[in-house]
Chain A
């Protein structure tokens, strides 16, 4: 064997271990969702069943938690995307000596453990609502949305910052020069430019919110979301119904990923078509110039 084959064999072995570690547990879990055995297992297969899925759908708490999770996710998107955008726009404008200080503040939630964010949110709103007599705001869903948004906004901000870096200031000036107000420039030129970032940060925000546990478990108080219900179930004992939930989540994400890929491919194709058109126009143009100069 030469050294190249040795390297390749080692590489293959490493990859097998790596992806085995990554996917093994998920595959085991996935298969166990269809096994009749009441303990989630792949071996031996005792029989094929969809019973666990049925159990899942009849689980009141789960369905209730799911509704809350979706509701929270929606509000997190509504809050985090605008906050992240404002944070990113402020970053480039803030008085330069304050900028690093500001940066530390708004990025710190990304690096703060989720439990601490959850705890501090509850403590703050608990105190605030008591002293200001607005106890109705001391509400699990409300605080979960705020707690999650504090760091999800920072994710969004980082995405907006990288998109804004690509913004050509001349676009803004062109708008102004044509008579638009700053506000019109914002809505007609900047926002459309940011649309891809808005879309992807919304997706990111929703998914981060949906699967969050550490912050939620504190901020939600006595209420439930899908993840807190799930955590409770998992602690009580293992049942294949949980595997079934995982299978459903995987299925939904796979479908989502496929749709995303299809849309992306179509966009790529359209873009390519436009570039081809430009190229053809370029050629026609040269030809017509050629002709014009000949006649002259």
Chain B
């Protein structure tokens, strides 16, 4: 007798538990307000990107076309992937002293893992991460960037 009871109990349990699951999917079927999909390329304007999002290393320039990088190459040493190459040059200052200065801040976006160690290491806080995330390009060469703008110079010592 007990086994018969167990038999029907199993059937009942099966049906009721399956029905419960169906109720949940059914619930979402009739509640389209709960849909989470974001229509990405269309909602570009309303997209929420947190401001700390690490998208790409940039070297900010101010309105005088001046940046903060002294060319000390600490970031280059700290990058685990070798995505940074700092090329420096010797210049002669007006006072006649020889000085090392940044020539090219080469950044290989294709090698970068956005770990943020270069930003962490930079003693001048010269570089930061931008929020850009649409990095795909058709030509790999575009991914190698020179971050200092032509003609830019080092911001003169902190005023």
Interaction A to B: no
Q: B-contacting residues of A (Cβ < 8 Å)? A: none
List residues of chain B with CB under 8 Å of any chain A CB: none
